Amino acid sequence: MELEQARQRIEKLRVLLDQYSRQYYVEDAPAIPDAEYDELTAELANLEAEFPELASLDSPTEKVGGMASTEFKTVRFEKPVLSLGNLHSFEEFVEYQSRVSQWLGESGPLVWTAELKIDGLSIILDYVRGRLRRASTRGDGLVGEDVTANVRAIAAIPQTLTQPVTGQFRGEVYLSRTRFESLNHQRQSQGIVPFANPRNAAAGSLRQLDARITGERGLSAFIYEVRDIADVLIERQSQALGFLAQWGFPVESHWQVCRTLEDVRKYIERFQQQRPPLDFDIDGLVFKLDSSVWQTQLGATQKTPRWAMAYKFPPAEALTRVRDIVISVGRTGTLTPTADLDPVLLAGTRVSRASLHNEDILRALDVRVGDNVFVRKAGEIIPEVVRVESKLRPPEAVPFVFPHTCPACGAPVERIPGESAHRCTNGLGCPAQLRESLIHFASRDAMDIEGLGEKTVDLLLESGLIHAVQDIYRLTRADLMALPRFQELSSENLVSSIERSRSRPLSRLLYGLGLRFVGERGAKTLADCFGTMDALEKADLAELQEVPDIGPRTAESIVQFFATPINREIVRDLARLGVNMAEPIVGNQKRPLDGHTYVLTGTLSTMTRREAELRLSALGAKVTGSVSEKTTAVIYGESPGSKLAKARQLGVSQMNEQEFLQWVANQGQK
């Protein structure tokens, strides 16, 4: 691969991994399976190793975890909270032990402590003289979220220890399977969307702004690490687990000291093949050098300790029969094939549907109605078909023919060259796209219409009150009162929420309209750049590609959106119905940094990266992720990496953190 090709691929992988990391750690809504994320990370790491001149300290390969949510106070850790490297076979463990022996200069056997890897949310607990003083999430490993009030509502975590120890401890907050099923049954009976899985439920429960809700969810926890301790000598991890139990912490009981490779192999087999019944989810095992001296001697990389590794289980598989292959239509018109299955128990839950992703994968697998197939949960979450058991194929099974027309509206289906997806060409005229578009339009990050969720959207569509997005703004209290479950107060609340949404800024409207490839950040960039919907609609392809972070594909999507008559009609109707079509300027005055573009790099010591972005945005600046000749300046902290070097190469201005703070203060005085 040539240098420029590698640069482009590395930049694309970094953007993707940052996006997926945020979805996993901050939004608690993973977009891809863990295995696929690991593959992308490995590809990026290999490219950075092959082209060291393109390596950067702010690359996802150097990051520990997610980012801190802005809804809680932040906690800065004195010692980074690290993540773990992954092993996938006993053979890989043997190789890892050999490397550790070489690093330590040990010729004798190594002793390991083996533990279950709980699938929950990492928690850091600070105790002073035996009393809980602070609890925080891991965040990005350097800065976490203060969730003390919520953790005090978790009965499993002691407020007071049995001994007056002072120290910092790490563990995992989780939701038991029993409690998860009970909560979902309760939510379904109330017409609320059930949780996707116990981990998402635990993460969402721990991050509630109302601690009472956290308490009601019934979270549990296991504590497994002494990060720091005063006046207590701990020489081994196995000893630490014993102390934790003595002090009153909940400690998972299946840990074991492994003195030989045979011990390690048997421990892996026990939980991979003959797993005892557990009331909580695990996504693997953890092996730690038992000796604290060895741990200190080995140390850690920026991201992971060298003395510990996670052992990831291969996804569990089950054999079942394909009843049908169903095509669903998403918000953007994408046609997705799904296998309708004979129900089968898989990874603790009953599965009756599994994704086939797209036509290419469906054809590569050659899945047919009537086939017996192996299914697994990708990343322990999303069921997918792995392969067909061809020996069991019935004679009447025929290849599936992918539709040329939309199953929801009958419009032609197109496949854009270079893409794997087939899409309905009818846009928002397609009822399937309309439903998903309405839900997205009303979502919190878009127009934020409280009360207009999936159930209400379905009611409105079934009753014929809504035929297009703009019909939301024609709803009256009388319309809503005629619907099942709606009474005077709920009708008034929804109408009021719809009314408030009329004044949302243009950026929220653009995101809500669901232009392909335009996310929240892209919508804000476009709104800041063009100011009004009319100006954006008149922009041509060349003008759009001049906008930072708007590439050719996104620019073409925007032009195509406004070239479609039904989309122009929707925008005109929304404007006539009083929906705001402009991005407001703070104080109705030109902001000092309007038209300027900045890049942040390195670790800032006085604020988070997000706080710096918000300060710049408040002054009118655009914050982008890459340096170009059009960049106004690069602001850098510790370990800035390749972005600073590129700025110097291009002659772009640079300022360090202190210079930035002084400069921002001066801007605010103008």
CATH number of the domain at 515, please: 1.10.150.20
Q: Is residue 399 part of a domain?
A: no
Taking every pair of Cα atoms in the chain, the longest distance, rounded to a whole number of angstroms, is 82
Whether residues 138 and 262 fall in one domain: yes
Q: What pLDDT does residue 642 have?
A: 83
Whether residues 263 and 322 fall in one domain: no
Q: What is the mean pLDDT of residues 202-219?
A: 83
Whether residues 157 and 291 fall in one domain: yes
Whether residues 230 and 257 fall in one domain: yes
Q: Is the pLDDT of residue 22 over 70?
A: no
Q: Show which of 279, 311, 343 is a domain's final residue.
A: 311
Q: What is the mean pLDDT of residues 620-628?
A: 83
> Would you say 414 and 434 are in contact if contact means Cβ atoms under 8 Å apart?
no
Q: Is residue 397 part of a domain?
A: no
- What is the percent of the chain with per-residue pLDDT over 70, rounded to a whole number? 89
Indicate which CATH number applies to the domain containing 596: 3.40.50.10190
CA–CA gap between residue 353 and residue 343 (Å, rounded): 8
Q: What pLDDT does residue 65 have?
A: 53
Q: What pLDDT does residue 370 have?
A: 95
Whether residues 435 and 461 fall in one domain: yes
Q: Is residue 129 part of a domain?
A: yes
- 64: pLDDT confidence band, cut at 50, 70 and 90? low
Q: Is the pLDDT of residue 367 over 90?
A: yes
Average pLDDT value for the chain: 85
Its pTM stands at: 0.50
- What is the percent of the chain with per-residue pLDDT over 90, rounded to a whole number? 39
Whether residues 374 and 522 fall in one domain: no
Q: Is residue 91 part of a domain?
A: yes
Q: What is the mean pLDDT of residues 86-97?
A: 91
Q: Is residue 325 part of a domain?
A: yes
Question: For the ranges 55-69, 421-435, 453-467, 585-599, which has the lowest average pLDDT?
Answer: 55-69
Q: Is residue 422 part of a domain?
A: no
- 611: pLDDT confidence band, cut at 50, 70 and 90? low
Q: Show which of 339, 368, 392 is a domain's final residue.
A: 392
Q: Is residue 80 part of a domain?
A: no
CA–CA gap between residue 403 and residue 422 (Å, rounded): 9
Q: Is residue 185 part of a domain?
A: yes
Q: Which residue has the tokens 């392809």?
A: 541
Q: Is the pLDDT of residue 493 over 80?
A: yes
Question: For the ranges 5-9, 153-157, 561-565, 579-583, which has the lowest average pLDDT?
Answer: 5-9
Q: What pLDDT does residue 26 have?
A: 46
Indicate which CATH number applies to the domain containing 385: 2.40.50.140
Whether residues 105 and 42 fall in one domain: no
Q: Show which of 449, 466, 501 is a domain's final residue.
A: 501
Q: Residue 124 burial by CB count (10 A; 0-12/13-18/19+): exposed, middle or buried?
A: buried
Whether residues 119 and 177 fall in one domain: yes
| Number of neighbours of residue 485 by Cβ within 10 angstroms | 10
Whether residues 268 and 325 fall in one domain: no
- The residues annotated as belonging to the active site are 117
Cβ-count burial 404-437 (b if 16+ within 10 Å, e if not): eebebbebebeeeeeeebbbbebbbbbebbbbbb
Q: Is the pLDDT of residue 43 over 60?
A: yes
For 379-434, what is each residue's pLDDT tens digit? 445 788 889 998 999 999 999 999 999 998 999 999 877 777 888 988 777 888 88
Whether residues 294 and 441 fall in one domain: no
Query: Which of left, alpha, beta for 2 (phi over 0: left; psi -120 to 50: alpha)?
Result: beta
Q: Is the pLDDT of residue 56 over 80?
A: no
Tell me which H or E stretch contains 635.
strand 633-636
Indicate which CATH number applies to the domain containing 55: 1.10.287.610
CA–CA gap between residue 134 and residue 127 (Å, rounded): 7
Whether residues 220 and 128 fall in one domain: yes
Q: What pLDDT does residue 53 have?
A: 67
Q: Which domain holds residue 111?
A: 85-311
Q: Of residues 594 and 142, which shows the higher confidence score?
A: 142
Q: What is the mean pLDDT of residues 33-52?
A: 74
Domain count of the fold of the chain: 6
First to last CA, the chain: 50
Question: For the ranges 164-178, 279-293, 448-462, 595-609, which has the lowest average pLDDT?
Answer: 595-609
Whether residues 359 and 299 fall in one domain: no
